[in-house]
Chain A
Amino acid sequence: MRHLIALTGLVATLLLAGCAKPVDYDYSAFRQSQPKSILVLLPQNSSPDVNASHGVLSQVTLPLAESGYYVFPVAVVEEVFKQNGMTNAHDIQGVSATKLREIFSADAALYLEVTDYGASYKVISSESRVTVSGKLVDLKTGQQLWSGSATASTAEGNSNNNGIFGMLLEAAITQISHTLTDKSYDVAGVTSMRLLSAGRPSGILYGPRSPKYGKEAE
Chain B
Amino acid sequence: MKLGYKAGLLLIAGVLGGCADTPKPIYSWDNYQDTVYEYYKLETGAEEQIAALKAGIEQAKAKDLPVPPGLHAHLGMLYSNTGHPELAGSEFEAEKVLFPESAPFMDFLQKKLKGGKK
Contacts and interface: CB of A to CB of B under 8 A. Distances in A.
Contacts of A75: 36, 39-40, 74, 77
A19 interface: yes
Contacts of A171: 8
A178 B39 contact: no
Contacts of A212: 22
Contacts of B12: 168-169, 172, 190, 193
A116 B102 CA distance: 32
Contact of B4 (A4, A67, A68, A164): A4
Contact of A197 (B8, B9, B16): B16
Contacts of B41: 51, 54
Contacts of B29: 62
Given A62-B13, A179-B2, A181-B34, A54 B26 contact: no
A185 interface: yes
Name B's interface SS: helix
- Interface of A, secondary structure class, is helix
Nearest to A71: B69
Interface size bracket, A side: 35 or more
Contact of A15 (B20, B33, B76, B104): B20
A76 B109 contact: yes
B17 to A, nearest CB: 5
A182 to B, nearest CB: 9
Nearest to A40: B70
A14 interface: yes
Contacts of B68: 61-62, 65, 71
Contact of B105 (A54, A68, A105, A168): A105
Interface of A: 1, 3-4, 7-8, 11, 14-16, 19-20, 36-37, 51, 54-55, 57-59, 61-63, 65-76, 79-80, 83, 103-106, 164-165, 168-169, 171-172, 175-176, 178-181, 185, 189-190, 193-194, 197-200, 209-212
9 contacts: A62-B13, A65-B26, A65-B27, A66-B26, A70-B99, A73-B77, A76-B77, A105-B101, A175-B8
